[in-house]
Amino acid sequence: MQHRLLLAAALLVSTSAAWAQVPVPAAKQSKATVLTGATLHIGNGQVVEGAAVAFNEGKITYVGPATGFNAGGTAYETVNVSGKHIYPGMILPNSQIGLNEVESVRATLDQQEVGLFNPNVRSVVAYNTDSDITPTLRSNGVLMAQITPVGGMISGSSSVVQLDAWNWEDALVKADAGIHLRWPAMVQQSPDNSPQVAQRRQARQQGLQELEALLAEAKVYKDQKNDRQNLKLASLGGLFDGSKKLFIHADYGKEIVESVRFAQKAGVKQLVIVGGGDALVVADFLKENSIPVIYSGVHALPARAGDDVYLPYKMPGMLQQAGVLFCLDYDASLHGSRNLPFIAGTAVAFGLSKEQAISSVTLNAAKILGVDKQVGSVEVGKDASLVVSEGDILDMRTNKISHAFIQGRQLNLTDKQKYLYDKFNGKYQGDSKAEVGK
């Protein structure tokens, strides 16, 4: 019995030590703060040298040269960040952060619901604020994310959250602002008239017919008074008055055009293309219809054998030149999402200017997700969600975040990797003379 009690105590201690690695959410801003002396990248393309950024009660109160700052009777705590850079907190769109922890452990996966049409699924209610992955994003300057479901044809609704909270309710920035549609891939005609190909084409056509009927029913349902609520139909209502956006996941050029025309015919007001591998091919069509793109493939291989091997790297710069509003996401791996600033850095090396690249992961993303009045740039009246880096935030060699704030709250930038680095660095530095294996 005593042995079991000792074992239970040991397990409790080890569990407590493990939880100690998870940073506690920051407390509400209690005193006015001004950051002075840094180079400010506003997020809209403007840069201010020797800048000051002041914020109080979670809101930005001054942005401009440090010499022009006037406290106006408010007692500001001054933080000298001379020689560093201030940026808006970056935003990660189209992410399963907090829904997917360990691929091989089913109990940690909650990003997908069964069935083909699930517009009423709210991904944010499954969002886990205690994910070990989230602190690694904050350490690289990513402070917000769009929590997006997967699976089926209509996966559900996404919400925008800030990445330092006790629970999903506290994390919410914009709830259920978009419905996600996975456009079915076109099926090429088989030269030998294969029955399998014919079946796939028939299944695709049937799925689109069911989708068309669902949207038509939802549009009628929205304009009627109903004694009993239909959650599926009610969740789609916002698509027809513009209060919700339809995020269409499609890559192939013909599929992009087909899906947009399908949605417009159904009466959907606001559209966003996610993925957009062929966005450049249909750039004129997207621009003409004012449809933005969440581009997913910067660190990917070209889709076609004859394409320029560097085309994915060049794509952001080309979309910028074509006048298409776009932002970048990181869909290569969930755990690699912390590398969002570095894919923007890759785009800088292949045609995008540095300030345009910063906009592609800050203000552009905020505009596309519908939160640009609140975040996305360092401007007076917006949330004080910003980061301070010792060097260029888009370069993995100089991206070293010294301060990060969400709604004025200064974050604890500890994460699991830093904890393990400090743990074993201390061990081997203290034992540097020991022989390997002893």
Give residue-wise pLDDT tens across range 382-395: 999 999 999 999 99
DSSP bridge pairs for 52: 36, 64
pLDDT exceeds 80 at position 249: yes
Cα separation, 276 vs 311, in Å, equals 13
pLDDT of 433 reads: 47
Phi, psi angles (nearest 5°) of residue 192: -100, 15
DSSP 379: -
Parallel, antiparallel or unpaired: strands 271-275 and 293-295:
parallel
pLDDT of 18 reads: 46
Cα of 18 vs its chain's centroid, Å: 27
| Domain limits, the chain | 21-89+376-438, 90-372
Q: Which two tokens stand for residue 50?
A: 């020797």
pLDDT band at 75 (very low <50, low <70, confident <90, very high): very high
pLDDT of 386 reads: 96
Percent of the chain exceeding pLDDT 70 equals: 92
Cα separation, 417 vs 235, in Å, equals 40
Q: Are 362 and 43 in contact (CB under 8 A)?
A: yes
- Strand arrangement of the beta sheet that strand 172-182 belongs to: 90-95, 142-147, 154-162, 172-182, 245-250, 271-275, 293-295, 326-328
Q: Are 404 and 411 in contact (CB under 8 A)?
A: yes
Query: Which residues, 6+ apart, have CB-to-CB distance to 43 below 8 Å?
Result: 87, 88, 358, 359, 362, 363, 376, 377, 378
Instruction: Give Dmax over CA atoms of the chain in angstroms.
Output: 81
Query: Which residues, 6+ apart, have CB-to-CB distance to 271 below 8 Å?
Result: 245, 246, 248, 260, 263, 264, 289, 291
Q: Do domains 21-89+376-438 and 90-372 have the same CATH topology?
A: no
pLDDT of 312 reads: 93
Cα separation, 384 vs 366, in Å, equals 14
pLDDT band at 200 (very low <50, low <70, confident <90, very high): confident
- Mean pLDDT for 72-82 is 93
pTM of the full structure: 0.90
pLDDT of 12 reads: 41
Please tell me which residue, 427 or 157, carries the higher pLDDT value.
157
Place of tokens 């294969």: 194
Identify the CATH homologous superfamily for domain 21-89+376-438: Urease, subunit C, domain 1 (2.30.40.10)
- Written out in words, the top-level CATH class of the domain with range 90-372 is alpha beta
Which value, in Å, is the radius of gyration of the alpha carbons in the chain? 24
- Mean pLDDT for 48-75 is 94
pLDDT of 17 reads: 45
